[in-house]
A and B are shown apart, each in its own frame.
Chain A
Amino acid sequence: MAHAHADDPNRPEWVAHFFHSKEQQLSAAKFGMWLFLAQEVLFFSGLFCAYVAFRWMYPETWLSGADQLNKWMGGLNTLILIASSFTMALAVRGAQTKSPTALKVNLLLTILFAGGFCVVKYFEYSHKFHLGIFPADHYAYEGSTGLMPIFFAIYYCLTGLHMIHVVIGIGFLSWLLFKTQKGRFMDGNYAYVENVGLYWHLVDLIWIFLFPLLYLVK
């Protein structure tokens, strides 16, 4: 409760009663986010391990599996996400420099890029489904050889899990935009913006690993 510290003129309203200072609160928030990201990396690591194990067991399958994927669409999505990371960084900069317009515009752009990623992915997935390329058990595509079902099991798990993270990211970004509209984040308390930014960069980074690992197998 802030009233307990009412005698401290340097203490902003938004510092929670159990923190000594705003610096302590902000550094705790950011450190917590980094730990959360470490947790996210380990969450994905299980699937990356499965990827390595199966690629090592079935190298040819991986080669022909990558041929089934549309490199242009994957490449386009890579560019979209890199651009979104750039606008996200500009959004954080907008909060730091207390410019509500910069924050709003860049958040909106980031959301649009994220939506674009989803649209491209939608076309990719629906084309695969159309051909009968479903995860493992339901795999019904005639024109492929080898243990293609297991390649696509890994493909759908990795990209699907990543996709869920993109959708959650869109939710966070929209929430930030909504709060910015209401005048938040302009009082130096922009830890939320920074933390969503960190999350978004991780989502971007995971895709940057996924794209060559799945689409560009040589």
Chain B
Amino acid sequence: MMLDTPETPENAEDAPAEEHGDHGHHADEPSYLVYGKEKGFASFLKSWLITVDHKRIGIMYLISVLLFFAVAGFTAIYFRWELMTAAPDVMSGDTYNKAFTLHGGIMVFLVIIPLTPAALGNFVLPLMLGAKDVAFPKLNLASLYVYWAGAALLVYAVLGGGFDTGWTFYTPYSTTAQGPITWALLGAFTLGFSSIFTGLNFIVTIHKMRAPGMGFFRMPLMLWALYATALTQLLATPVLAITLLLVAMERIMGIGIFNPDLGGDPVLMQHFFWFYSHPAVYIMILPAFGIISELVAVHSRKRIFGYGAIALSSVSIALIGFLVWGHHMFVSGQSELSGVVFSFLTFFVAVPTAIKIFSWTGTMWGGSVRFNTPMLYTLSFLFLFLIGGLTGLFLSTMATDVHLHDTYFVVAHFHYVMASGAVISFLGGLHHWWPKMFGTMYNETLGKIGAIIIFLGFNLTFFPQFVAGSRGMPRRYHEYVSEFEGMQYMSSIGSFVLAFGLVFVLCYLLHALFKGKPAPDNPWGGVTLEWETATPPIEHNFHHTPVCVRGPYDFPEIDESLGNGHH
């Protein structure tokens, strides 16, 4: 395999010319978090808001995304409270519809899509590449402002009375219902461009700005995952943009493309919508695969098993993901033939996904596994994602899908995939890169306790929903027959535990931020380039352009003479 021999990088001789001429700034150079502080608070704040530093942009994304995560999370707690009993007691049906729409809309468009690529990815991608920034730093800042603009439009729609279309904006309801739906559509439309900008930036950065000596197959797997994600962001999001624009135009001036009265076709809207929104699931999950690949290798002290297979399976998942959208429409009146084709294509996605799970387990096999917080999140991810992935097969099988369609089974499935995939892996990644990001260590014991609470809360919330759904409990009802009360009650209790776990994590991380022990440059013994720079990194990441001389998982303690690490 290409990784084994650290060959001399072909353009290594260029490297000295790239180095800074002045050696004036060294270890005493301020970190990216504090430069500009000496001129007073107002100009310090301004230095953040107009920064083109990918690390600061990543942190600002992180804060914004977590803020919306809290809003959407508390909305969920609110309607889980309603669902504890079969009778409607806490809120009206109308409020309930708006609440779940708010939860879904914010979680998808404002939280999970930017969570790992734009927040964590922005921070780590150039560092892992050994680059001083992304290829287009101003575009990167623009993407953040576009995100804020889109968020403002969505918030405006919520404050202006709320909307209850579900996050999917299905026609004809979304084109005929009252309320500020047009604003919400324009908000989601705008957010799409923020995602496109990030994707475009990452693709160019990965192609053009790898450190000398870093070929594509010497990149850390996180970068492969972000690359596959960026491809999907770039190529799928414009289709969502035109779809939402057409729905908005339908509302504003009745263009009729989705209106059957005028010869239009509402199912066409579903085709367009899922052509984006299925790949969007991979925008949410592919970065998670990247994080898990890093965590599993670094904290097992072993070369990743099947590097090439993991790298290429990310790309193939991204590509197959464009051909499966019809599995959302098995009961929407598409032809039986297309149903069968989409069903089979969906099964294909399971293959590269299973390759990954297999490779991660294979990496841990025989490694020196450290049971620290990042590893607990990794294990939690593997367990939850396996359940999420396997239950997906029930839904891609047409015969079972007709029964399970629009039930809690679907709700449980996509929370196991998206919430576990995106949120659990994000939390693992956040703990892994926390020392590098903020230069402090968190309390390891509290970290482990938090990971365990979240794992238990998560399962208690969503596992009963599989059972309720398979017995016929439909989604999106605030009032239901009393036989489901037991399972709904369990699920609500689980959601409270989950929320408690997340608040718990937030508390000790905030404590670590201000009072934590200073972190060393490389607390985990990672060998990717982000661990070679200062902690927290300086403004321009590296004093000298680093040269990549070994594979991303060639840990020093791996005994080359035994030739293990691969088998």
Contacts and interface: CB of A to CB of B under 8 A. Distances in A.
B36 to A, nearest CB: 14
A47 to B, nearest CB: 6
26 contacts: A6-B22, A16-B137, A17-B540, A18-B131, A18-B133, A28-B209, A39-B196, A39-B234, A40-B238, A44-B242, A45-B238, A45-B242, A46-B272, A47-B246, A53-B268, A54-B263, A58-B263, A136-B255, A136-B262, A137-B253, A137-B254, A138-B254, A150-B262, A153-B256, A156-B255, A157-B246
Interface stretch (A29-37, A72-80, A89-97, A125-133): A29-37
B46 to A, nearest CB: 19
B255 A5 contact: no
A8 B265 CA distance: 62
B149 interface: no
Contacts of B249: 157
Interface of A: 3-8, 16-20, 24, 27-28, 31-32, 35-36, 38-40, 42-47, 49-50, 53-54, 57-58, 61, 135-138, 147, 149-150, 153-154, 156-157
A138 B256 CA distance: 10
B255 A50 contact: no
A136 B131 CA distance: 52
Given A35-B200, A42-B239, A46-B239, A4 B20 contact: yes
Interface in B1-21: 14, 17-18, 20-21
B157 interface: no
Contacts of B255: 135-137, 153, 156-157
A195 B241 CA distance: 23
Contacts of B495: none
Contacts of A43: 238-239, 241-242
B431 to A, nearest CB: 28
Contacts of B253: 135, 137-138
Contacts of B263: 54, 57-58, 61, 147, 149-150
Majority-rule SS of B interface residues:
helix
B266 to A, nearest CB: 12
Given A43-B241, A135-B255, A31 B132 contact: no
Nearest to A19: B209
Q: Identify the 3 closest CB pairs spanning chains A and B, nearest first.
A: A137-B254, A136-B256, A7-B21
B133 to A, nearest CB: 4
A28 to B, nearest CB: 4
A98 to B, nearest CB: 25
A20 B207 contact: no
Contact of A42 (B203, B235, B268): B235
Contacts of B540: 4, 17-18
Interface residues of B, number: 47
Interface in B229-244: 234-239, 241-243
Given A35-B204, A138-B253, A149-B263, A5 B133 contact: no
Q: Which of B136, B205, B263, B265 has the most CB of A within 10 A?
A: B263
Contacts, number: 131
B303 to A, nearest CB: 29
A112 B255 CA distance: 32
A162 to B, nearest CB: 13
A11 to B, nearest CB: 9
Contacts of A53: 265, 268
Contact of B234 (A3, A20, A35): A35
A31 B204 contact: yes
A136 B259 contact: yes
Nearest to B54: A18
Given A32-B135, A149-B256, A150-B264, 5 more contacts: A8-B17, A28-B204, A35-B200, A38-B234, A150-B257
Contacts of B14: 20
A45 B138 CA distance: 28
Contacts of B131: 18
B47 interface: no
A156 B255 CA distance: 9
A43 B239 CA distance: 5
Contacts of A42: 235-236, 238-239
B545 interface: yes
A4 B22 contact: yes
A63 B133 CA distance: 54
B204 A32 contact: yes
Nearest to A160: B249
Nearest to A135: B255
A47 B238 CA distance: 11
B37 interface: no
B235 A39 contact: yes
Nearest to A4: B20
Contacts of B403: none
B542 to A, nearest CB: 10
Contacts of A50: 246, 257, 268
A65 to B, nearest CB: 12
A28 B20 contact: no
Contacts of B272: 46, 49
B265 A135 contact: no
A4 B254 CA distance: 57
A53 B265 CA distance: 9
B132 A18 contact: yes
A198 B185 CA distance: 30
Contact of A137 (B22, B136, B235, B256): B256
B264 A153 contact: yes
B208 A27 contact: yes
Contact of A32 (B22, B133, B200): B200
